[in-house]
A and B are shown apart, each in its own frame.
Chain A
Amino acid sequence: MLYLFYFFAAISVIAALVVVSAKSPINSVIALVVCFLSIAAHYILLNAQFLAMVHVIVYTGAILVLMLFVIMLLNMNTIVEVRKPMVTRILAVVTGGLFFLVLLAATRSGLSTPVPEGFDPGIGLVKRIGMSLFQDFLLPFELSSVLFLSAMAGAMMLAKKDDPSNVNRPPSSEPDLRQAGPNEKAA
């Protein structure tokens, strides 16, 4: 059990490092799929079966496939990413390491919270989660549907192409973000 934990922990950390450092966005998405599957394995180790299923379906099945679809649709592999300067990158890595150390130091002494005596093995099963969701958390559950509706409408409004018959100004007056640099703005 402990070795399984170490195995999946190593997979998720290595995959996360690949996500951050890969040059091509496609490689990043594939590494993120591996990372999320190993996190789902951690959920199964913790006996959270419902969340493991929902995690695989929602994240790797919907979100990451959507990202892959957008990357391929926008033909993003041909875009060369401008890299940040070396000083910024080194400082970012140092900041992340310091943040990790601060989190470790903050929880080192405060972790001895008493674990309760009673134990319920069926905490993560579908039945228990469903009962809890529809009895104690019914209002947030219903409100989340409103959130999804607004997110869907917002995404469609954002991504919709402008109708050419509705444009009431000549195209030349539109600001071109590609060429408008700071020196041109002053002119």
Chain B
Amino acid sequence: MMENVMTAIRLVPLDHYLILSFLLFSIGMVGALVRRNIIIVIMCLELMLNSVNLLLVAFSAYHSDPGGQIMVFFIMLVAAAEVTVGLAILVLLKRNTNGVDMNQLNRLKW
């Protein structure tokens, strides 16, 4: 049982998880830079958080250390709280400006 799980996990090299995670993070970053719709920017932030989560779980499984997976759990908690507040700000922006454009938020000094 133990040998099976170990060989099954280590069959995929750690480099592959690194490349996949970097690719997802770069796509999320490009999306956050390119788009102006605020909800798509929030989704791209979620994508970046998830790429980091995937890398943490991969390292945790390879080194058999539960600390990485606990870290992922707390990242999920913080992401949930962040999305709650972000969507509330989105609703507020839509109500005040009748649009969801990120560039409406560049005058926060009011």
Interface positions of A (Cβ within 8 A of B): 1-2, 5, 9, 12-13, 16-17, 19-20, 25, 28-29, 32, 35-36, 39, 42-43, 45-48, 50-51, 54-55, 58-59, 62-63, 66-67, 70-71, 74, 76, 79, 81-84, 88-89, 92-93, 95-97, 99-100, 103-104, 107, 111, 115-116, 118-121, 123-124, 128-129, 132-133, 136-137, 140, 144, 147-148, 151-152, 154-156, 158-159, 161, 175, 177-178
Task: Verify A39–B77 contact, CB threshold 8 A.
Answer: no
Task: Verify A100–B14 contact, CB threshold 8 A.
Answer: no
How far, in whole Å, are A70 and B44 apart by their CA atoms in the complex? 16
Known contacts A59-B76, A111-B14, then 18 further A-B pairs from the complex at CB < 8 Å, ordered by chain A residue: A9-B16, A12-B20, A13-B23, A28-B43, A32-B43, A35-B47, A35-B50, A48-B57, A67-B43, A70-B39, A83-B36, A84-B35, A99-B26, A99-B29, A116-B64, A148-B77, A148-B80, A158-B91
List of 9 A-B pairs having minimum Cβ-Cβ separation, nearest first = A96-B30, A20-B31, A151-B81, A92-B33, A121-B5, A158-B88, A155-B88, A100-B26, A46-B61
How far, in whole Å, are A2 and B7 apart by their CA atoms in the complex? 11
Task: Verify B100–A129 contact, CB threshold 8 A.
Answer: no
B9-40 residues at the A interface, CB under 8 angstroms = 9-12, 14-20, 22-31, 33-37, 39-40
Residues of B within 8 A of A152 (CB): 84
Task: Verify A28–B61 contact, CB threshold 8 A.
Answer: no
Given contacts A13-B23, A70-B90, A147-B78, contact A158 B85 (CB under 8 A): yes
How far, in whole Å, are A144 and B30 apart by their CA atoms in the complex? 30
B67-101 near A? 1/0 per residue, CB < 8 Å: 10110111011111111110111111011111111
How far, in whole Å, are A58 and B68 apart by their CA atoms in the complex? 18
The minimal Cβ–Cβ distance linking A131 to chain B, given in whole angstroms, is: 9
Task: Verify A128–B37 contact, CB threshold 8 A.
Answer: no
